[in-house]
Structures are given as C-alpha cells and as structure tokens.
C-alpha cells in the first residue's frame, strides 16, 4: 500500500475540502452540501458532525504537526463549547441551526460519546485542561442518566429526565431501545479519554463496555456482532452490519492496547479474529475489491458506502498486523484502497468522497457530500491510521 498516495489524499484533498467549509460568520462549519456540490449555508449543523471535525483536526495535527490545523480545531472547539453545550442541563444538543441556535435539544448518548471522543483528542493535541474537564462532566452525565442495570440508554430528554424514542439510531424498520453502535462508540470515546488521562473510573466503565460487547453483542455462533436490541439487550431484527463489524475489531483491539492487559487483549483478539474471517468470507467482493454494506433478513445490501470502505482498510491492516490472517488480509486492504481512490474519491473540483456507490460504480445523487453524518471522521481516520501503522512498520 502506497502511503504517499494516502498522505496526499489526506493533505491535498480531505483537509482542504473541510478547510473551505469553515464558517467565519456563524461559527463552526457549513453543515450541508448536496451531491452536485451545492452548499446550503442555511443547512443544520450537526453536533456529531462538529465533534468529528474537532476529532479530525486534532488528530491530523498530532500526525502532521502542521500548526495551521490547530486553527481549525480551535474553531470547532469554540463552536461546540459556546453553542452546542447545554449551559443549563449539561451535555451537548443533537443539532443546531446554521446560525448556531438550537435546533434539536434532546440528548443522545451516541452524540455525547463523540463529544467526549473529540474533547479527549483535543486535550491530547493541545493540553487544554478545560477540554479534559468538560469531557469528565459529560461522562458523569452519561453514567448518571444514560444507564440502567443492563446497558446504555439511547435518547434522553434535554433535562435528562425522560427516555425518548430512539429514532436517530434505529433503522431497517426497527425501533431499538439499545444498539451495538452506541456501545461501540462509547467504548471508542472512553478509550480515548483513558489514553489521555488514565482515570480509574473511566477504565472501569471501559471494561464494562467491552464485557457488554462480548456477552451480549457478540454472536459467538455466527461470528458477528448483533445490531439492535430491546431494553434487556435481547436482539431484535436480523441485521448484519458488515462495516460496523470490521470497524469494531480494530477499535476493540485498540481499547485493549490502551488498557494494557495481556489477558484482555488475548480474549478479545480471539473474538476479533473470528469476526474478521467471517467478514472476509461473506462481505468482501473480490471482483470489485470492495466491501458490501449489510444484510437484513438474509438479503444483502450491495451499496458501497464511503465509511464502510474506509473502515475496511483500517480493519484489515489491523488484522494483518496482529496475525489474524496472512497476506490475504493486507491484499484486501490494498484492494479496497484502490477501489476508494478509483471510485469513491470525487474527482470533481470542490468534491471530497461520494457517500455511496451502486454495484456499477455510479454514485447516489440523493446522498449529500456533507450532512450531519457525512464528515472527515472515517476517511480522515483511515488516512491517519494507515500512515501511522504502515510507516511505523517500515
């Protein structure tokens, strides 16, 4: 895999694209661009989007040591802390209007997770203690209001008093009380916070999230992660998310690395080895060199989604480096990168990555280039991880 190509994609394409969306009038970054590259200055500004932007610039700076990247990180941090934090009840809102006023004021534990994740990275990049302190405040709110005796709750009212319908993270015609996705990204956030400060309470809850994954989310009979659950963490529906599975393997491995417990690493490594093998066997499309999206009730969705391809590259690099498989896994990472650069990367002036492609390589015109979910997190992180992992290995 050519890391010079990946570095050029990061430095010459992804970073400039997001730099150009910096909103110097209302703060933050412009939140919507359609597939024809038309910018909507009045589009909502997702809080998850802005947290991911803060994470991205913080980590790009830690890799590249380009001081200009901190200017953009600071800009995202300012918008998040001044506009998106609920000054009365704490935590962050779900979304903002273009002018920085509140659009959707409910609290979602998934959204809090990305805010914690971003603050932790920003603290690591800058040493700014206020960011670390705020991360702990949000952790305390999540642990107090977004847990029950079983797992993590999803959608909560603004004042943290009432559990709401989980419309935001329910899909496939299901209404999930709890999800793999929220558990995974809380684990990701707590990993980053523990890396930043080695807090014992964070470690305790991080281990709980790992155990929850192993005991309730991992389907050991079928070597996959279950996706949607009822209140008791009993599975609902029959959804198999290929992208989340490959993403989860390297995030779980990273959590174990940060914890630094060899026994824990061996336990979860054995689980991840099985998950990766299954994904390679059933989800990797050899002819195109890409990963399929998911299956629902056994019916395979063949859309090639931008973030799924990005996480596939990192997941298979990680699997190869850990000895979960032989050169086949590195070849898969190579092939998916080739697919990305030849198909997903938008060659038009002013574009970034297409959101999704059909099986013939045509991009979906109904999917935006930027929206509350389409961000520099997955593709930027793929570049950062690939560069870091492959250049350190040489």
- Note whether 107 and 157 are within 8 A (CB): yes
- The tokens describing 363, both together, are 């991009």
Who contacts 20 (Cβ-Cβ below 8 Å, separation ≥6)?
A: 350
Identify the pLDDT of residue 393. 72
Identify the pLDDT of residue 394. 64
Measured in Å, how far apart are the chain's first and last C-alpha atoms? 12
Helix (H, G, I), strand (E, B), or coil: what is residue 262?
helix
Identify the pLDDT of residue 312. 98
Helix (H, G, I), strand (E, B), or coil: what is residue 202?
helix
Identify the pLDDT of residue 392. 81
Identify the pLDDT of residue 314. 98
From the list 246, 313, 310, 247, the residue with the least C-alpha distance to 281 is: 246
Q: What is the DSSP string of 95-138?
A: EE-TTS-EEE--EEHHHHHHHHHHHHHHHHHH--HHHHHHHHHH
What pLDDT tens digit does each residue of the chain (394 aa) get?
899 999 999 999 999 999 999 999 999 999 999 999 999 999 999 999 999 999 999 999 999 999 999 999 999 999 999 999 999 999 999 999 999 999 999 999 999 999 999 999 999 999 999 999 999 999 999 999 999 999 999 999 999 999 999 999 999 999 999 999 999 999 999 999 999 999 999 999 999 999 999 999 999 999 999 999 999 999 999 999 999 999 999 999 999 999 999 999 999 999 999 999 999 999 999 999 999 999 999 999 999 999 999 999 999 999 999 999 999 999 999 999 999 999 999 999 999 999 999 999 999 999 999 999 999 999 999 999 999 999 987 6
| Percent of the chain predicted with pLDDT > 70 | 100
**CATH number at 3-393:** 1.50.10.10
Question: Each residue of 331-361: b (16+ CB within 10 Å) or e?
Answer: bbbbbbbbbbeebbbbeeeebbbbbbbeeee
**Side-chain-facing half-sphere of 205: CA atoms under 13 Å:** 27
- Radius of gyration of the chain from Cα atoms? 20
> Residue ranges of the domains in the chain?
3-393
Over residues 24-37, the pLDDT tens digits come to 999 999 999 999 99
């Amino acid at each position: 895999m050519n890391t010079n190509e990946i570095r050029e994609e990061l430095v010459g394409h992804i970073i400039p694209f997001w730099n150009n969306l910096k909103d110097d009038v209302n703060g933050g970054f412009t939140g919507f661009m359609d597939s024809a590259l038309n910018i909507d200055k009045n589009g909502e500004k997702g809080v998850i989007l802005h947290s991911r932007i803060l994470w991205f610039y913080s980590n790009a700076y830690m890799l590249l040591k380009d001081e200009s990247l901190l200017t953009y990180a600071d800009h995202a941090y300012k918008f998040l802390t001044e506009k998106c934090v609920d000054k009365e009840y704490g935590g962050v809102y779900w979304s903002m209007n273009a002018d920085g006023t509140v659009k959707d004021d409910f609290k979602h534990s998934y959204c809090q997770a990305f805010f914690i994740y971003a603050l932790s990275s920003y603290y690591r990049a800058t040493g700014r203690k206020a960011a670390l302190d705020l991360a702990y405040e949000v952790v305390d709110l999540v642990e107090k209001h977004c847990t029950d005796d079983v797992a993590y709750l999803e959608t909560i009212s603004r004042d943290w008093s009432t559990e709401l319908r989980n419309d935001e993270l329910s899909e496939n015609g299901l209404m999930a009380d709890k999800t793999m996705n929220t558990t995974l990204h809380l684990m990701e956030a707590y990993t980053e916070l523990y890396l930043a400060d080695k807090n014992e309470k964070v470690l305790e809850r991080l281990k709980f999230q790992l155990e929850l994954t192993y005991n309730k989310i991992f389907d050991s009979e079928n070597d996959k992660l279950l996706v949607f659950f009822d209140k008791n963490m009993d599975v609902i529906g029959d959804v198999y998310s290929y992208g989340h599975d490959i993403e989860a393997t390297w995030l779980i491995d990273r959590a174990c690395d940060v914890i630094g417990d060899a026994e824990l690493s061996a336990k979860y490594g054995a689980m991840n080895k099985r998950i990766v093998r299954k994904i390679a066997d059933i989800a990797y499309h050899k002819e195109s060199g890409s990963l399929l999206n998911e299956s629902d009730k056994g019916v395979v969705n063949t859309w090639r989604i931008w973030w799924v391809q990005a996480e596939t590259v990192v997941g298979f690099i990680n699997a190869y480096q850990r000895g979960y498989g032989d050169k086949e896994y590195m070849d898969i990472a190579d092939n998916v990168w080739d697919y990305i650069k030849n198909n997903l990367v938008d060659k038009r002036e002013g574009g970034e990555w297409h959101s999704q492609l059909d099986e013939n390589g045509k991009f979906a015109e109904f999917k935006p280039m930027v929206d509350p979910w389409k961000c520099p997190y997955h593709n930027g992180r793929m570049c950062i991880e690939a560069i870091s992992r492959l250049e350190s290995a040489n």
